[in-house]
Structure 1
């Protein structure tokens, strides 16, 4: 065999190899593929065409043009989609009920000579289904987006709400969703973290917003009076009872919402009666056997670990599960530091209006605020801002007016800075009230309940309640 014959055989083998690879590629395509000559006569089609066309055999297509297939009734109709001449795009309806989407493009060799047309075919029915699914997903996303905007709008409309951190935004959005039902909610979190604000947000975002919002601090009322305050009493029910009797706070909240704050301070006896009231939506006044039907939404709040109290038999398990249908936990202020300065500015604006001042915070004070851990949380920040506004004689509040534990030793040598000690603008009454306010707030922050705070301060429970009222303090 001469050299020329060897070269010729090698070229033939290479052509066969390339053809075999091309066959594998064409048959591996998920879409239908058709190859046709210059006149549009089909000379090759892959097996995917049978699936895409809904069952038309490849043999029925080979050797025919689109016009001939139309005459045979295989193609029912076709129309061009003007997307440009190259590639050519067609839509075909065929007898199997399938709508085909065809894209045809000419193929050329390396010298620019025409070889054949390559057409890719897709089932428009499947594409239409996918398009519909995409549109439905877009519509659903749009609805979710609109709902989110509505929720955030409702949050911003709430009075006294400053929502900056991602955690608090999530909490507020969840609270507004929960508000649309009458499900019981248990709000947990450290003292002063804003549990009352979330409870009010739920009420004001609910269908009950036109009804009353009644708050009872279970730790602020002496244990002997708590049952009568909660459920009311009939005349002559006990020594000292009013002649006309008294409506209870739960009855006052009918058609509205009641917040049971410091729920962990309830005595076992009151826990039993509250459980019955929640289960049956019925209460009995002290000294009466007549049931009073209620329609009230229950929100409970606590700074204690009720689950641990249940394990220690300090809180009824059945009551805990009745209250803890929707749990909402509010993190301490130190876990949302990005909200500290905005909250401080909010309180500053409020107290400037209240006291007729125009004071501002220095950057150093803001830096101190962000470094401090705020064991008393939002309430401690609020009380500190008011104290600084009242006591300071400067327009710009600097670290000189901060307590030692907040300023981190930047200026003061005692709990009151030297500048505060030297100023003559503060009266004795103001100094006493400031000291009492600080002592009460610190005790509440440390002990959580008014009863325990009073014990640590060495005074009666009623004394702390009276002082808090006169100083304008609230235990949230």
Structure 2
């Protein structure tokens, strides 16, 4: 029997020594009475040094942070906690009270298991979840961008611009986009970037007119730590640096102060920048696209814009015509926005013929942005499914404008027929069937079929 007992003791000790994790036994006075060899690895303290010390001393010395035994003595309950033992090392600690017949704690036995690998896996899992969210957002962004491009590609009034964009995709020349507010200059800038060799890199956008002049320089060029009062002590990278290898889009470039026009010209010439408060030049490589709703040549003549910078920017000019000069595009955009906002808000709104005609005849001084906002407002604020002329904003109702028709339409009947033909052809191109065309234009299916036959005969796609 003694031999068996000794064997069991030896086996027990061998098992404890084989454990890579550590076990600590604390008596009712909080004194450590036994530790296993894994202790030394985790705490950097020998077993002999640990035995005899109290858990309260260990807490004071920041060796236990906190002491699980102390918490068990206070609560009387089993405890499980995850804890960073030291930088990069994570353990799961289980502390169990051993009680006598009267329920008084005689010992607390704690077991610490290294879960660093599990922690790393969890961190990777969390990173993967964050990445998936980011990828989903990027995918949605690309989807919206693709839908925008698809919509733009259908606009007849800007087809010549699409051809230019497609042609210069392999080149890295500066582009100056001009046009009234709301015509879609930012959309075109993104299209240029997406079709360039820099498409996989950053597209950095800044509106020069939206940032106060005293802050614009530091936003563009960045600054070193302590460059000025209130500056971030770590310094800050500028937008030009952020656009390195990508595209920098300066909207409202006409609002760029003359002082910064000089600095921008130097950047374009030398391909280097210097941060505010800095002494070292930083090489930069980016494609520049600028946009303005003002006549830069007029500003040059007024000495409000540098002539040399203008010529640097105006390598490839893109002038986007206003919406009032693109009657067919108005028709297409109305239908596109109605469909899009119906999907977004789970509605089934459609325009009456009179409302549709009134929108077509409006001059749209705010261009595509105004048209989009008006359609969204009509979809979400009207009570009935059919949007009538009475639902239109007062400024649209007040304006009566002659529709832009071709010179071939001489008589009133000719003008009406040409307008009707344009409407039917555009609707058929988008909706294909008589049912959809009739529903969208607010007419009967038989009327839609008759007009489609009249205006689409000879069309091989019909």
Per the alignment, residue 278 of structure 1 pairs with: 268
Show structure 2 runs of 5+ residues with no match: 1-144, 401-462
1:389 aligns with 2:389: no
Query: 1:364/1:286 Cα in 2 relative to 1: closer, same or farther (>3 Å)?
Result: same
1:216 aligns with 2:223: no
Residues of 2 paired with 1:163 and 1:238: CA distance?
47
- What is the TM-score of this pair, normalised by structure 2? 0.53
Query: 1:164/1:267 Cα in 2 relative to 1: closer, same or farther (>3 Å)?
Result: same
1:360 aligns with 2:314: no
SS at match of 2:152: coil
Query: 1:353/1:246 Cα in 2 relative to 1: closer, same or farther (>3 Å)?
Result: farther
1:161 aligns with 2:156: no
SS at match of 1:259: strand
Give how far 1:156 is off: 7.6
Per the alignment, residue 235 of structure 1 pairs with: 225
Per the alignment, residue 188 of structure 1 pairs with: 178
Give how far 1:363 is off: 2.1
Give how far 1:160 is off: 6.0
Residues of 2 paired with 1:277 and 1:165: CA distance?
36
Q: Deviations over 1:374-429 (max 9, x none)?
A: 1111111011111112211222222222112212479xxxxxxxxxxxxxxxxxxx
Q: Decide which of 292, 300, 312 is 1:310's aligned counterpart.
A: 300
Q: How does 1:393-432 map to 2 (within 5 A)?
A: 393-408=383-398
Q: How does 1:89-104 map to 2 (within 5 A)?
A: none
Q: How does 1:327-338 map to 2 (within 5 A)?
A: 327-338=317-328
Q: Deviations over 1:345-364 (max 9, x none)?
A: 22223322333323222222
Residues of 1 paired with 2:355 and 2:363: CA distance?
14
Q: Greater CA deviation, 159-168 or 277-286?
A: 159-168
SS at match of 2:153: coil
Q: Is the 8 A contact 2:362 2:399 kept in 1?
A: no
Per the alignment, residue 246 of structure 1 pairs with: 236
Show structure 1 runs of 5+ residues with no match: 1-154, 411-476
Residues of 2 paired with 1:206 and 1:217: CA distance?
22
Residues of 1 paired with 2:333 and 2:325: CA distance?
14
Q: Is the 8 A contact 1:176 1:201 kept in 2?
A: no
Residues of 1 paired with 2:313 and 2:166: CA distance?
18
Q: Decide which of 339, 346, 351 is 2:341's aligned counterpart.
A: 351
Residues of 1 paired with 2:152 and 2:174: CA distance?
25
Q: Is the 8 A contact 2:204 2:239 kept in 1?
A: yes
Residues of 1 paired with 2:151 and 2:264: CA distance?
30
Q: Which runs of 4+ in 1 moved over 6 A?
A: none
Q: Is the 8 A contact 2:155 2:332 kept in 1?
A: no
Q: Is the 8 A contact 1:352 1:389 kept in 2?
A: yes
Q: Which has the larger radius of gyration?
A: 1
SS at match of 1:199: helix
Q: Is the 8 A contact 1:162 1:346 kept in 2?
A: no
Q: Deviations over 1:293-327 (max 9, x none)?
A: 11100000000000010011000011000000111
Query: 1:158/1:407 Cα in 2 relative to 1: closer, same or farther (>3 Å)?
Result: closer
Residues of 1 paired with 2:364 and 2:216: CA distance?
31
**Aligned length in residues:** 256
Per the alignment, residue 104 of structure 1 pairs with: none
Residues of 2 paired with 1:331 and 1:392: CA distance?
31
Q: Decide which of 324, 332, 339 is 2:314's aligned counterpart.
A: 324
SS at match of 2:151: coil
Q: Decide which of 195, 204, 211 is 1:205's aligned counterpart.
A: 195
Give how far 1:161 is off: 3.2
Q: Is the 8 A contact 2:198 2:247 kept in 1?
A: yes
Per the alignment, residue 378 of structure 1 pairs with: 368
Give how far 1:196 is off: 0.9
Q: Is the 8 A contact 2:157 2:328 kept in 1?
A: no
Q: How does 1:293-304 map to 2 (within 5 A)?
A: 293-304=283-294
SS at match of 2:282: strand
SS at match of 1:315: coil
Residues of 1 paired with 2:148 and 2:154: CA distance?
14
Residues of 2 paired with 1:166 and 1:296: CA distance?
31
Per the alignment, residue 113 of structure 1 pairs with: none
Residues of 1 paired with 2:323 and 2:153: CA distance?
12
